[in-house]
Amino acid sequence: MEADPSQKIRLKAETDIICENCPNNAVGVCTTQDKVKRYDEETLKACGIAEGEELSFADFIDRVKERVIDRGIRSKICGDCSWDYICSEKEHEMNMRSAFVEHNRGDEHGSDTGD
């Protein structure tokens, strides 16, 4: 999906392709389904997306970044996940990149002190 972000995806709150390498995926059935379903439903709700809706992978990523990551609600939605440390690291990296871009954008728009 990352190779072709224009690729259409259908969002669902159940075991799917994203879960294929998870150790909790027991032949297509999630052993922690109730918890994961809650994560999926809360993420879809925060992003204003209905289950079964189809949109591009890029649009989905943009919505998650804007409405979950940038609003600081990721840990509220799924902070009790056993994989939280991975997302925390990614979230930190994204925030650092955003801060760097904002800082450099300020430099481009005349933040020169004239020293």
Q: What is the pLDDT of residues 77-103, one digit of tens each?
A: 999 988 889 988 888 887 787 777 777
Residue 56: strand pairing partners:
8
Of 107, 11, 106, 89, nearest to 50 (Cα)? 11
User: Domain residue spans in the chain?
Assistant: 8-108
Q: Would the pLDDT of 8 be above 80? A: yes
Please state the rounded mean pLDDT for residues 39-55.
94
Q: Would the pLDDT of 110 be above 60? A: no
Q: What is the pLDDT of residue 102?
A: 75
Given a contact cutoff of 8 angstroms between Cβ atoms, the answer to whether 13 and 78 are in contact is no
